Chain A
Amino acid sequence: MTERTRVEVELTVNGRSHRVRVEPRRTLADALRDDCGLTGTHLGCEHGVCGACTILADGEPVRSCLMFAVQCEGMDLRTVEDLADGDRLHPIQQAFWENHGLQCGFCTPGFLMLSAGYLAQNPDPDEEELRAVLSSNLCRCTGYQNILKAVRQAAEVMRG
């Protein structure tokens, strides 16, 4: 297999431009972590099952291990680093803290971004739909109940 040439891609992540040189096969998740230095996005399964790498692309939750960086020029990409405002946690982060919505924390960035994307479009979710949405991602510590509690609380806080 011949060495493929790298291509220059401009990624817009959390409002900042990152010019990166990547092979076309570079997944967005790897580009975010290794080329942009944003290691808040976690990689679990790398085939779209676990959801740890969930980020927002143009406001919608996506698996960043199932996209290539070369596809993402011009997209508004948001990662977990975008949530907190300095030391002030985002309401979803605060709610995860207060409700013990995490233990080891590996899956947390994915759950936070999934919830952020979903709540932005569904500020007052019904229980059944919320459970279906949160079943997108894997958590092996919490048993999900505290994650549900956290997202319900966050929704309430964000509605004001």
Chain B
Amino acid sequence: MAPGYYTPAFMKPAPFDYHQARSVAEAVAHLGEYGYEAKILAGGQSLVPAMNFRLARPAVLVDINPLDELDYLEEDGDTLRIGAMVRHVTFERPVTEGPTGRLLAMAAHHVGHLPIRVRGTFGGSLAHADPAAEWCVIALLLDAELATRSPSGGRDIPAADFFQTVFTTALEPEELLVEARLPNLAPHTRIGFQQFSRRAGDFALTMAAVALEADDGPVANARIALGGVSDRPVRAGEAEQALEGQPATDESFRAAAEIAAQEFDAIGDIHGSADYRRDLVRALTRRALEQAIST
């Protein structure tokens, strides 16, 4: 096979050293020792394809699959705490009674395919930071806080600061993402999630997630997050503001969707032009808002 762009000479990973972490402390110590040379192996559903293509050639893999201490879901007051190693499939049925659990379940069905969801993890998806990943969009929508551990301690990073550009986060090389904290949506919050992809299971060209309150009155606390439009997940802040205090009608939803469509310099690539993506933002935002109000 001729070498070239996306035409690898081998469909096998380059050699690496393998460490199976037996604790978070041990995993973090490995990261401290190897720094940029090391990669964390969580579910592996994005990392291993990249390694098979030799697009990624980490010298060291630190496998955190044995860490049961990172596989938990806890409701802590108004916060849902998600351990980094919780698998996507866990969210297919609502993990909480309120709208947060339902929103996660709506999105979960769009994450890859069943065998991908069985292995892939919530934390792995966030750390990988594909701009069209469902969990990244939801984390931004809910103003999640992402907790890390490192040899020098750890910190909490707001989702808005975490996603920096394509496949790039605020994580330092020696830092391990250990937990996502999702502030639970108020019980009466209405939610919508819409995405478009050319084939089932593909990363979406564009997606829209919305949450708003509108019980017998004007819209309050409107949130709109978009994936696949920019180099990272984004909040449509101008559209959110435009909705605030408006009646929950087709007209105001249409107007907000139009603003969302104009708010970003949408990316264009081989999968869809910038104009096409803007059109998707317009359609998906409107549909997500309608879905939210009708369910």
| A contact set with B: CB distance below 8 Å | 1-4, 7, 23-25, 27, 30, 46-49, 51, 54, 60-63, 65-68, 70-71, 114, 118, 132-133, 135-136
CB distance from A37 to the nearest CB of B (A): 19
Q: How far is the CA of A4 from the CA of B45 in the complex (A)?
A: 24
**Contact across chains for A25 and B114 when beta carbons are under 8 A apart:** no
Q: What 5 A-B pairs come out closest when comparing CB atoms?
A: A136-B113, A24-B18, A47-B49, A46-B11, A135-B200
Known: A71-B41, A132-B114. 8 other contacts (CB 8 A): A47-B11, A62-B118, A65-B48, A65-B52, A68-B48, A70-B20, A70-B63, A133-B114
For residue B44, CB closer than 8 A to chain A, the reply is yes
For residue B128, CB closer than 8 A to chain A, the reply is no
**Contact across chains for B13 and A25 when beta carbons are under 8 A apart:** yes
B18 surroundings in chain A (CB, below 8 A): 7, 24, 68, 70
Q: How many residues of B contact A (CB 8 A)?
A: 31
**Contact across chains for B115 and A51 when beta carbons are under 8 A apart:** yes
**Contact across chains for B16 and A47 when beta carbons are under 8 A apart:** no
B114 surroundings in chain A (CB, below 8 A): 61, 114, 118, 132-133, 136
Of A48, A54, A133, the most chain B CB neighbours within 10 A belong to A48
Q: How far is the CA of A1 from the CA of B13 in the complex (A)?
A: 13
**Contact across chains for A25 and B16 when beta carbons are under 8 A apart:** yes
Q: Which chain A residue has the least Cβ–Cβ distance from B44?
A: A66
CB distance from B201 to the nearest CB of A (A): 6
A25-B48 contact, Cβ under 8 Å, with A61-B118, A133-B114, A135-B113:
no
A48 surroundings in chain B (CB, below 8 A): 45, 48-49, 116
**Contact across chains for A24 and B16 when beta carbons are under 8 A apart:** yes
A4-B52 contact, Cβ under 8 Å, with A61-B114, A61-B118:
no
Q: How far is the CA of A54 from the CA of B118 in the complex (A)?
A: 12
**Contact across chains for B201 and A25 when beta carbons are under 8 A apart:** no
For residue B17, CB closer than 8 A to chain A, the reply is yes
